[in-house]
Amino acid sequence: MKFLNFVFFCFLIISCNNNKQNKNLNRHNPYEHIDQNIENENAIELYYEGLDFFEEGNFESAIESFSKSFEIEKNPIILNELGTIELKRKKYSEAIKYYNQGRKLDKYYWPIYINEARTHAKLSEFEEAERILALLKKLCKSDYWIAYSDYLLATIHFLNGQDCVKVFDFLEKSKNMASDSELSKSYLKFKKHVEKNCG
């Protein structure tokens, strides 16, 4: 259970996050094949206000700002932020509702798939997590998001006690995460743990 918590804390939360960069590693483009933007100026202002509140740890005010932003412009980016706050607060069913609503609103916003799958995995709902990632991989053309999905699938199969062959297969498919400036550390730590405990 401790390692389960470790793995998912190591994952990048695809939202509400600053962009620290390690100059020795590649910076893959997580926004490849993402066309969504918030267009309305008032919605944008409230969105950034929500991000500021989130960084301060003021989740209630962040939710209020994001909700007002969403009232102005129905956008999956905003729903993803609301889901991320609920995930952070361990209100998993609320997070899933936001993510699911976001996918229905726009099926091409990839971060919401990752975050929804991560939330289901936290609840040990591994089959549902896999189903959501399979949808992403079916619709998406981005190497980055497909590799990220495979990385998450490796952890899901490992935590679900699946055979090690599948775990290593997904790790191999996601190996470019090892050179990513944001995911390298957690990928390599997880890979080392798998090599020690699987097989």
Residue 27's pLDDT is what? 53
Number of H helices and number of E strands within the chain? 10, 0
Cβ contact 92:119 at 8 Å: yes
Residue 182's pLDDT is what? 81
Cβ contact 36:106 at 8 Å: yes
Mean predicted lDDT score pLDDT of the chain:
86
Residue 198's pLDDT is what? 85
Residues 182 and 109 in one domain: no
Structural domains in the chain (count): 2
Residue 25's pLDDT is what? 44
Helix (H, G, I), strand (E, B) or coil at 180: strand
Residue 69's pLDDT is what? 97
Residues 155 and 72 in one domain: no
Asked if residue 135 is part of any domain, the answer here is: yes
Q: Determine the residue type at 115.
A: N
Residue 101's pLDDT is what? 98
State how far the Cα of 119 lies from the Cα of 95, in Å rounded to an integer: 8
Counting as low any pLDDT under 70, the low residues of the chain are: 1-32, 199
Residues 86 and 155 in one domain: no
Residue 4's pLDDT is what? 41
Cβ contact 158:174 at 8 Å: no
Q: Give, to the nearest 10 degrees, the angle between helix 110-122 and helix 143-159.
A: 10
The range of the structural domain enclosing residue 135 comes to: 38-140
